Amino acid sequence: MKNHKFSIYTITGFNKNNLQLLRLLIQQALTLRYKRSVFGIGWTLLNPMLTSFILWIVFSFLFAGKLQTGQQFAPYLMAGVLLNTFFQMGLLQSANSVSGNRNILTKVAVPPKIFAFAAALASFANFLIGLIPLTIIVYISGQGLELTFPIVFIIGLLLALFVAGIGLTLSILFIRFEDTTNVVNALLLMLSALTPIFYPISILSKPVKFIVTLNPLTSFLDLFRWSFSNNAIATWKDFAYISIISIGTFVFGSFFFKKHWSKTIAML
C-alpha cells in the first residue's frame, strides 16, 4: 500500500493506530484541562496574564529600565512565563505519564512512548493557546508581531522534542527510584532560577551570565522573544544550539527508554 519510503510512520516508528491514539491522548489532555473546568478555555488565557501581571508589579520597577531600547518588559516577562510553563509542566507530565498509565501499559500492548509524547505535545498545544494573550500584551505595550513569527512553531516543536527526551529518561527513573521525583523538583527549581524569565541577562555578573547562557532554555527563550516581537537578541548560534540539544536529548531519551523498558515494566 505504501510505496513512498519516507512516510510519517517510518520516521516516528509508530503505525497508523499509534498516531490515532496519540491524537486522542492530546485531545484528552486538552479536554480535561479546559472543557471541564469552570472558566473553560478562558482560564488558559487568563492564567499566564495573571501570573505575568503579578511578576510585573513586583519586578517592573527593578528591571524594566535594564532592557535594551525598543524592548518592552511586559511581553518579555510573559514570554518567559509561557515558555517556562511549557517546559516545566510538559516535563513533569511527560515523566509521570508512563507510571501514571501503569494499569494500561501492563495490560495492553501499546508503545509506552506514546504517553510521554502526548504529554509533551499537549503542553505545546497549551503554549500555542497562550500566544493569544501574549499577542494582546505585545500590542498593548506598543510593539507588533514580527514577520519572523512562524519560527515560533519550529522553536516549540524543538522544545517538545527536548521535553519528550528528558521525559522518557525520567519516566524510567521515576518508576525505578521513588526519590528521583524530589531530586528532579529541586533541579527544576534551580534551572528556572537560571533562566532569564523575569530578569534581563545584562544585570548578571560575568560568571553567572556564563552559566545562564549555557542553559539551553535561555537560547529557546531568546529565540522565542526575538521571533515573536523582536523583544530580544538571538543569533543562528542559538538556533544551532537548541537544535543539537533537542535532537540529541530526544535520541538519548528514546534509546535509554528502549534499553530499560523491558526490565522496568516488571516493576510496575
Partner 1 sequence: MNIIEIKNLSFFYRVLNNNHGSLKELFRDFLRGKLSIENYMAISNISFTVKKGQTVAIIGKNGAGKSTLLKILARVMQPTSGSIFINGSIAPMIELGAGFNTELTGRENILFYSSLIGRDINEVKPRIPKIADWAGVTDHLDYQLRTYSTGMVARLAFSVATDQVPNLLLIDEILSVGDEEFAIKSKNRMKQIHESGCTMILVSHDLDAVNEMADEVIWLDKGTIKMIGSSSEVISAYKASGN
Q: Distance between CA atoms of 105 and 222, rounded to whole angstroms? A: 39
Residue type, 113: K
Question: Which of 3, 69, 103, 205 contacts partner 1 by CB under 8 A?
Answer: 103
Residue 180 binds partner 1 (CB under 8 A): yes
Question: Which of 183, 190, 233, 251 contacts partner 1 by CB under 8 A?
Answer: 183
| Closer residue to partner 1, CB minimum distance, 104 or 233 | 104
Q: Distance between CA atoms of 137 and 229, rounded to whole angstroms? A: 11
Residue 177 binds partner 1 (CB under 8 A): yes
| Closer residue to partner 1, CB minimum distance, 180 or 243 | 180
Stretch that binds partner 1, among 80-88, 163-171, 178-186, 194-202 (CB under 8 A): 178-186
The mark string for 17-46 relative to partner 1 (x by CB under 8 A, - otherwise) is x--xx--x---x--xx---x----------
| Closer residue to partner 1, CB minimum distance, 209 or 260 | 260
Site for partner 1 in 132-151 (CB under 8 A): none
Residue 259 binds partner 1 (CB under 8 A): no
Backbone φ, ψ for residue 51 (5° rounding): -55, -45
How many residues touch partner 1 under the rule CB under 8 A: the total is 26
Residue 109 binds partner 1 (CB under 8 A): yes
DSSP state letter for 64 = G
| Closer residue to partner 1, CB minimum distance, 106 or 202 | 106
Counting beta carbons within 10 angstroms of the beta carbon of residue 257, is it exposed (0 to 12), middle (13 to 18) or buried (19 or more)? buried
CB-CB contact of 232 with 143 (8 Å)? no
The helix/strand/coil state of 220 is helix
Q: Rounded to the nearest whole angstrom, what is the least distance from the CB of residue 21 to partner 1 in the complex? A: 5
* Residue 59 CA neighbour count, 13 Å, CB half: 20
What 85-88 contacts at long range (C-beta under 8 Å, 24+ apart), as own/partner pairs, is 85/48, 85/126, 85/127, 85/130, 86/123, 86/124, 86/126, 86/127, 86/130, 86/156, 86/159, 86/163, 87/159, 87/162, 87/163, 87/217, 87/220, 88/188, 88/192
| Closer residue to partner 1, CB minimum distance, 36 or 206 | 36
Residue 211 binds partner 1 (CB under 8 A): no
Question: Which of 89, 110, 129, 136 contacts partner 1 by CB under 8 A?
Answer: 110
Question: Which of 98, 105, 166, 242 contacts partner 1 by CB under 8 A?
Answer: 105
Q: Distance between CA atoms of 104 and 101, rounded to whole angstroms? A: 5
Q: Distance between CA atoms of 148 and 18, rounded to whole angstroms? A: 33
Residue 258 binds partner 1 (CB under 8 A): no
Give the residues lining the site for partner 1 (CB under 8 A).
16-17, 20-21, 24, 28, 31-32, 36, 103-110, 177-180, 183, 262-263, 265-266
